[in-house]
Chains A and B, each alone.
Chain A
Amino acid sequence: MSLHAEHELHGRRRSRNMGLGIVLLAFVALVFALTVVKVRQGGLVEAFDHQPRVSLTPIEPAPQVTP
């Protein structure tokens, strides 16, 4: 009976490490793709930019005309 440098245990350990690595990489890719999709769905994002912008101002009700 010969001694092996690699025990059968190491194979199982490697399968765990590889599996977890692949899962984590896939999760990173998924979150990135999700971000791209969500940002595109949101349309143009506008915020305050030191200038009054008509598209950002709330719509005011039309003034009442008194006869």
Chain B
Amino acid sequence: MTDINAYDTAPEAEFGDYVALLKPRVMSLVVFTAFVGLWVAPVDVHPFIGFCSILFIALGGGASGALNMWYDRDIDAIMNRTQGRPIPSGRVQGNEALGLGIVLGLISVMMLGLVANWFAAGFLAFTIFFYAVIYTVWLKRWTPQNIVIGGAAGAFPPMIGWACATGGIGIESALMFALIFFWTPPHFWALALFMKEDYHRAGVPMLTVTHGRRSTRIHIFAYTLVLAPFAIWLGLTSVGGPLYMAVAVVLNAAFIHGGWQILRRAEDEAVADGYAVEKRVFKLSLYYLFLHFLALLVQGWMGGW
């Protein structure tokens, strides 16, 4: 018996494929840091207004994720890690992702303006533009500092959360930006050292390939040194307090120590023990950011200095 399988060549997407376009895992980080930014701000926000603000910041983040997947569909098809994404696997067409990204971006900015204020909405629009155009289209395939630039896009959410409450920028929100901004490069480069990704095959310049692994180790250590003063400085502002300060001192000491260990290692040592130190520092970097923001959250609830 013969079946006619005309549909199977162009599989239609299910709802979850469109959700996957919004990068839900990145979104969870956006939700958490934006919430902390909103929570520690000195202005009280109605709980429902706060909930809606976070929702539309997350939606804006999702929109930039969809735009990123639309533009990067060619290199996503080459790299193993990203081959299963909705566009390279053929479940969603490229144009659908572009349309979804633009429409969701517009909705999220408009709604954030109506929910919170137009400064926060403009900030969100700038963040989407920064991630989708300046990072994805322009700098990602052009400079090995792409991780640093991309980190800025990931660092904006707590500032937007703060802006939803206060309608502006403060030294505290700028320092929360700096915390994520300077944390991103050592975090990703530690990953790049042990994940031998085929970025170069896809034509994306990564520091490990363009400047070598030795230089990457130096960069990681240097960034942990730059990061620490900003984390401590944040503890001295109105959002800081004894608990945050204790957490920051311990974590920064551990992170700098980890960076130092990475710096001291030769490549053959790392190969010999299967990149044990690099993997440990990468794991530490995840806890580093999560615990800093958790400490801010608890400190905001307890009251600061």
Contacts and interface: CB of A to CB of B under 8 A. Distances in A.
Given A1-B1, A30-B52, A41-B46, A16 B14 contact: yes
Interface in A1-44: 1, 7, 9, 11-13, 15-16, 18-20, 30, 33-34, 37, 41
Contacts of B114: 34
**Contact size class for B?**
10 to 19
Nearest to A17: B15
Contacts of A20: 15
Contacts of A34: 48-49, 52, 114-115
Contacts of B49: 34, 37
Contacts of B197: none
A19 B15 contact: yes
Contacts of A16: 12-15, 18
B269 to A, nearest CB: 50
A37 to B, nearest CB: 5
B16 A15 contact: yes
B264 to A, nearest CB: 51
Contacts of B13: 12, 16
Main secondary structure of the interface of A (DSSP, over half): helix
A6 to B, nearest CB: 13
Interface in B1-50: 1, 3, 7, 11-16, 18, 46, 48-49
A45 to B, nearest CB: 17
Interface string B196-210: 000000000000000
A9 B12 contact: yes
Interface in B34-85: 46, 48-49, 52, 55
A13 B3 CA distance: 21
A32 to B, nearest CB: 11
A18 B15 CA distance: 8
A33 B15 contact: no
A15 B13 CA distance: 9
Interface of A: 1, 7, 9, 11-13, 15-16, 18-20, 30, 33-34, 37, 41
Interface of B: 1, 3, 7, 11-16, 18, 46, 48-49, 52, 55, 114-115
Per CB-CB distance, the 8 closest pairs between chain A and chain B, nearest first, are A19-B15, A12-B14, A15-B14, A15-B15, A16-B15, A37-B48, A9-B7, A12-B12
